[in-house]
Structure 1
Amino acid sequence: MNNILSITALPAVWTGGTVDEIGALLLDALRAILDVDFLFLRVAGQADQPEVLIERSGEGSARGRSKLIDDLIRTLGTNVNDWPREADLQQGGSSFRIVTEKLGVHGKTGVLLAGSMVPSFPSDEERIVLHVAASQATIAVAEVMRFRDDTRAIAARELKKVVDAIPVMAWSTLPDGWADFFNEHFLRYLGITTEQAAGWGWTTALHPDDYGPLQSVWAGLLASGAPGETEARLRRWDGQYRWFLFRANPIFGETGKVIRWYGTNTDIDDRKRFEEEMRRSAALMTQAQRLTVTGSVWWRPTTGEIYWSDEAYRVAGHDLGTTPTVDMMLDRCHPDDLPIVRKLISIAMLHGENVDLEHRLVMEDGAIKYVHVVLQNIGADPADPEFIGAVADITQRKISEEKLRRSEVLLTEGQRISRTGTFSWKVETDEIAFSEELNRIFGLESGRVDFEGISQRVFEEDLPLLATKMAEVREGGDNPDYEIRLLVDGQLKYVRVVGRIIRHLNGTTECIGAVQDVSAQRVAELARDKLRSELAQLARAMSLSTMAASIAHEVNQPLSGIIMNSSVLLRMLSTSPPNVDGAIETAKRTIRDGNRASDVITRLRNLFKRGVATLEQFDLHDAAREVIGLVANDLQRGRITLVEDLSSAPSLIVGDRVQLQQVMMNLLRNSIDAMADVAQQQRKIVVRTVFRHHEVSVIVEDSGIGLGNADIERLFDAFHTTKPNGMGIGLSVSRSIVEAHKGRMWAEPSPSGGAAFGFALPVGRRAEGDIPLSEANS
């Protein structure tokens, strides 16, 4: 009874103990009570509780699988349920009597076995002690398991709180990768339940482009059992994809096999975007450096550390990857620039002063390269400067500057030689700039130019023209081209202005142009025109002289005969009686000589006539515009405004186009000559056509000196003129041409104070044929 009480008292000792401790105490107690050769206790493994095997024998204590245990299992079998309650065994040449007591129902908890070579083993008391011991062990093991489960449940709940609270997605899988746990953060992000995410359900949230690569990495980890990581995008509950870093670590069991995988998903979307932005920025920076031929540098003199970007290597002419040094850069300096470069570098090293200089490099092939080096000290410690900066290849800029300088010299000299200056006028702001040559032409000092200074130098009579041309540009006109006069220091200058309108993308307008001093040319032209006029007058006088000499020579003989015959006739009639027959013969000879003189005049007239008119149908307005175009230079030179007031009626007529254009030309030239002494602002010619009463009229009206007291009827007489150097032929010939076309010609005072000359022609097709112009050419 005491032995049984000892066994029943064991639970008090077992309190708080582990299964191993309970088993060891139990076997030690039984060994002290029973006369046995060996004891064996097996507690089955449960969940993560491994199997417990303990033995007590004459050889001592043992844990785990001993030779005795192996012999028992080999003899009785691995299934505890098949072990007999009592049996005789042969062990190592000895006979043993064994007794087994199962722990729990059908030995589910384990088995207790005792063996003895005593033939009377087991006695009834020994059976009771073993049975009570097995029962107590079963209860104690169950209590330990329950306590452990409760403790683990509490720990699991606490652990879940922790896992759910960490700011990453946590998960775990079985050894084959089947996911069976997700923390709350994971589930909330995906917006699904544990059941939906279990297994491979969570993979539906993977970005389609990332599914394959992630599966490949995951399969590799499962096969190798090695930890690893990869990146993929997961779809959030609102449909937005974000980048995550997937990390997985395996847990190994006692056998060395993976029993579980644990992992986390860390949101790296912001980092990925930043990396992408940095990658893009780096690419842009690299491209910008390549395009601008500018490399970046970093330099810490105290440590000798130097960093060059790829473009800096290219600018310096060194191979990529070569460790940069100060001496390496100085070796490339041009000998003439080396002293100043060394000096500035030394100052930077000693005092941390910034560097900004341009110098030359001599490349390996002997080529000269210009560089601009800028270094800025960003270090906080004056004794430990840290520089960042740039080195730019400015060779092309230097070459361009030299070309630009040369171009400016050539342009300046070209403007000076050609007496041509350039200007820029910003129309909206009236900001105007002159070149040096244009300042010289206008007699202005270099600097800012304004319209007040310009207007003070424009000849007063040309100010209206300048204002008109500027107004046309302001109203959208294009490419002005005109001439004005300047009065600079009492000297009259003729200048030609040519402009080109530029409309910028911002909507502003700029007039770029040139002004050429054409004074020498205009003076030469005026002298030429005067000489030409004098030569023409002389030619006309010589022609008339020749014609008069011809007429005198040809008519002289008939006139001499008429005079002689007349004298003879008088003598014959004076005789007494008169010699009538002789007088009649003499009179006949006088008539013959008169006819002879008439034939001479007719022959001379035919000699000077142009021939016959060629009739054709033509547009009178087109003919008039051609004539106006021919006198355009004379109009511009005389600062004369011409206004076309041509009728809108059909202007087709039949006549000699050339002869009628000669008439219009004569009228226009007369009007131009009539305004030579009129103030410029009053110089105006109007060319007008009027269709009425089956005739068309062409009228040329000017604001010249007018007709005054002139006899209008005599204006059309041959050799009658009001001009100092006129011949008096033009209007006479013009009227003859008009009358040969069955028209009429007139002159009258103009309401503007000048004169109006016009002619009218019948409208309608004449009969085909030629019109004799003997009258027109007289």
Structure 2
Amino acid sequence: MSKPSAASVLEHLPGLVWTTDETGAATYANRHFEAYTGLEWEPSGRIQWLTALHPDDTSSIVERLENAQRTGSHLMTDVRLRRSDGEYRWFAVSASPLSDSLNQGYCWLAIGSDESSADGHFPNSDGRMQRFLDALPTQALLVSPTIELEFANQEVLRWHGLARGPHPLRRMDNLDSDELIGITGPLKHLLENGEPYAGSYQAVHGSGNLHWIDVRMVPIRDAGGRVARYFVLQNDAQDLRHASYLLANEVKILEMVARGAPTADVLHKLCRLVEDLSTDCSCCVLELSLDRKYFRVGAAPSLPDEFKEIFDGKAVDVGLGPCASAAISRKKAEVLDCASDGLRESAIGQLMLVNDFNACLAIPILSPYGNTAGIFAIYRHRHVAFTPHERQVIDRALLIAGISIDRTRHEEALLKREAQLRRSQAQLVAAQRISSTGSFTFDIQRDENIWSEEFYRILDLDPTLKPSIDAVRERVHPEDLELFNTEIQRGLSGDGADFIFRIVTTDASVKFIRGLARVTHEIEDYPVFMGTVQDITNSKRAEDALRRGEEALTKAREDLAYVSRAMTISALTTSIAHEVSQPLSGILANANTCLRLLARDPPNVAAASETARRTIRDTMRATEVIKRLRVMFNRQIPVMEETNLNEITREVIALSSKDMRDRSIAVTVQLDPEVPTITGDRIQLQQVILNMLLNAAEAMADIEGPRSMVVRTHSDAVGSTVLSIADVGIGIPAENADKLFEAFFTTKRNGMGIGLSISRSIIENHGGVMWAEMNNGPGATVAFSIPRQARP
């Protein structure tokens, strides 16, 4: 036996240990042997250990060794060994055959005795045996055939927590009857046949807890073959049983995790496991939300429901005691005495005291990634330090709990993402159906097409049809096929495509489709052609209908404007008659004068010529009036041209001057000569101004006192030309301010309510705005502004 390989065991035995070969020479000696005898062992040499024996004991030990070698049995005797200072002391020596030796080697163990024989005889062998057994690190007992305890070694006393005495008999007296029954009672019925026995039973440890004991019993017989006593060796197997129980349950729980069992079931099993293998423990596992702001009870199998209610769904707050403290600090938090702790005033403290829990340990549960996944809380009736075995159980439970909670979180996150994906897909399908938009993806490198459900529906294709560009081409209207191919090639080249084409469906109807597509690198790490198709048939038809409606509306508006002009001119009949009658009267008078001048003898040709010129002048004047009237009555297409607003304003004022005089209205004209010309239709703008003049006159029809209006032009801050007409009439009632320009709204008894509506429409078509406002004094002001570059 080599020293390095045996050192871990033999160096720590409570005695002198050495081994001998078949010649009796020592091949190994532990440090106790070397220290006591002073004989040093070297791996390369041998030591003659017999030289350390008392000369009177040498022959006896050699004879006994030879006998043991012949029979292959153990050797037990008492010898005296010389100490390094020369003094001899008695030792109980045993020699055991080395079972793995090819020769007759032995392993020797010598246990020292404090008693020495004064007369040179051996001391009492039983006493030496007791001292030998006391040195053993296992429990050793001698039991009489009547199952009475004769001896229990020091390890038995230590295990039971009994007092130690200087004498074996005194130590035995310390074992009370209950302890004796605890040691021997379970064995009684097994010893009746006097046969060797190996088994297990439970006994009360000195701590007050039940421990499992492994026992081996051998009968010791006298010369007549009768059982003289039983030799019992016992070992505390509690830790081994706990380890086996823990391992078996860990395997089961990990299998649950691997099978995807609900986390609540896994945590329930973990709590039960810790409670089974620990003293006075009621466990609770609190999961934390991902943001670590809320608790969720994972398991609390042995705690009242009130504990679950006080934590489940509650925010992490210091008022929730050590569990909240551990969650916030990410460190262990412990309450040793709730009755004297500040926690007793809180709800959780009161709940602990009501249920007779006075201590609590809260430990953060860490996920495999180091995040705090939850809290493992252990409630106890009193504070007691955990044993190393209990701490091991708790640590392993924390590890499994972290794995289980983390797995659940990943599964929940995965289910959430899957649900979000399903919702997104459903929303996409619904959105495509609502908007009549289908999508497609063309993997250029792999020559693979992916079409959405709506794509198939819009193009009226069989949903089982394999996607291909040729299948789409078959649907394209023959007249648009060239456009389709050109745009697709453009899109594939990277320029993008945005075009409208027609398709012919299976029922021969025609659809208008808008296609958009471009090459992107955002889906894969290589170019992918993707895009959309949108059924715009309805919008196309709506556009056509709208266009036709707008054309009809424009025509109706023109007709309405014509009616409005006719009505306006009708209102000015008197002024028009006056304007025409004046030149006609002049023409008639001039013609009569010319006849008289020519009838003289001799004729007054010079005077007749002058009269003829005045006749021509009045004729031109009448012609111009009639021409202006004809233009206003004619239904002509608007002509946008450079126009001077001052000029057309004077023309309208002149046309309406007679009507204004008849109504006793004084018209003040303030036209800014610097206003810029505008682009507009002369006739339409005259209609607007004329309508404004007549409305102002109507507003003053019923007032007493002077009637006047001011017609003014000027340029505003942005360079637009502004024309305003202010009157001193009845003004604009507040409730009618927003309705004034609405079609068919009027405050006049015989009005149609279209004048201002048409006027605003005309101004807006010129790119301008029209408004009305109350004056600071009596009356109101109606105005419009037109930018220099009016809308054509």
Higher relative contact order (CA 8 A, sep 6+): 1
Q: TM-score, normalised by structure 2?
A: 0.32
Q: Which has the larger radius of gyration?
A: 1
Q: TM-score, normalised by structure 1?
A: 0.33
